[in-house]
Structure 1
């Protein structure tokens, strides 16, 4: 059976007040929501977890008025992003939003020496890739995570990031191309010197 169909049935059970279905939805999506929330802002784990729990509290309270989403994970990630951005806009809690961070540090390209230092410190191929991804601008990092970790399509990514589908595709494409360039550069450099 299709995962989305199973999730929709679970969602409908939760809407009718089934606490076990609600718990199951929480268990299936809390890790992805936490991961995504931590990628959005430089905030404490407690802040992100509070936002995740706020989303689940709100959907429980409003369950009878909610529609059944076509993709539950997409719905929950979007609700989490909305909640985080709402709280940050109201400045209710201590935080350092990525948008207010030092732009030069965020948007400048790392130089070759910085890339090599990062990669030498990484022990595994996976860790090296994670360190390269961390060098991307925050918006590109977020788009990559939504596409390749959360498996959202470009239309859903565009909606979460509040942009059109083509802009979402372009954002992911630019991030992938930048990573390819860096990986090629580093591979050539390692083959010359090591």
Structure 2
């Protein structure tokens, strides 16, 4: 099981930036927005396919953060704090626009995939395995896809995922365990059929 971790040097630096931003330092605020905009945009595109809508939500979020900076609390893990904030913002704005779907039905996973996997493979067989793995991931529930994205693409720990998704730490551990077990069992079954062909 994943144990709570101490903040890394980078996380401590970002936490200090957060404190400076809360004190009104525009340079610190600019550094935070530049550091996290792309992360938030990538995550937002997993929740909604509307790129302009996601960009608007992120811009509004940063504007609201600046306006409410004096009332914000400490953020040891700034990344998970902002991921949770943008998730909530997208859901809230979707409700306003009558575009809301329950979290299981959000468009998670339909955004652009990073082609890094295809860049590192050299044979057609490996490409087929990567495509098959993507297909298996696409067959997961939206919540399973979200937890895989947060854990393995954003490298968040259980406590951070718990904060972002609004689940208990134990629920995160259980969901991730079940998800990985599902992927493994489907992978083994598909390999068995490949051998028979």
With the shorter chain as reference, the TM-score category is 0.7 to 0.9
Give how far 1:61 is off.
Answer: 1.1
Any runs of at least 4 consecutive aligned residues in structure 1 with deviations exceeding 6 A, and if so which? Answer: none
For residues 66-145 of structure 1, the aligned pairs below 5 Å read: 66-90=72-96, 92=97, 95=99, 97=101, 123=127, 125-145=129-149
Cα deviation 1:5-32 (Å, max 9, x = unaligned): 1111211222233323222211211122
Aligned to 2:45: 38
Task: Work out whether residues 133 and 179 of structure 1, in 8 Å CA contact, stay in contact via their aligned partners in 2.
Answer: yes
> 1: CA distance between counterparts of 2:100 and 2:129?
30
Task: Work out whether residues 147 and 161 of structure 2, in 8 Å CA contact, stay in contact via their aligned partners in 1.
Answer: yes
> 1: CA distance between counterparts of 2:70 and 2:50?
32
For residues 1-194 of structure 1, the aligned pairs below 5 Å read: 2-41=9-48, 43-90=49-96, 92=97, 95=99, 97=101, 123=127, 125-193=129-197
Calculate the TM-score normalised by the size of structure 2: 0.76
Task: Work out whether residues 33 and 77 of structure 1, in 8 Å CA contact, stay in contact via their aligned partners in 2.
Answer: yes
> 2: CA distance between counterparts of 1:52 and 1:79?
9
Give how far 1:169 is off.
Answer: 1.0
Task: Work out whether residues 40 and 98 of structure 1, in 8 Å CA contact, stay in contact via their aligned partners in 2.
Answer: no
Calculate the TM-score normalised by the size of structure 1: 0.77
Task: Work out whether residues 55 and 76 of structure 1, in 8 Å CA contact, stay in contact via their aligned partners in 2.
Answer: no
Residues 35 and 127 of structure 1, relative CA distance in 2, 3 Å threshold? farther
Deviates more, 1:59-68 or 1:176-185: 59-68
Structure 1, gaps ≥5 residues long: 102-119
Give how far 1:141 is off.
Answer: 0.6
* SS of residue paired to 1:185: helix
Identify the structure with bigger relative contact order (alpha carbons < 8 Å, sequence gap 6+): 2
Residues 174 and 50 of structure 1, relative CA distance in 2, 3 Å threshold? same
Q: CA RMSD in A?
A: 2.4
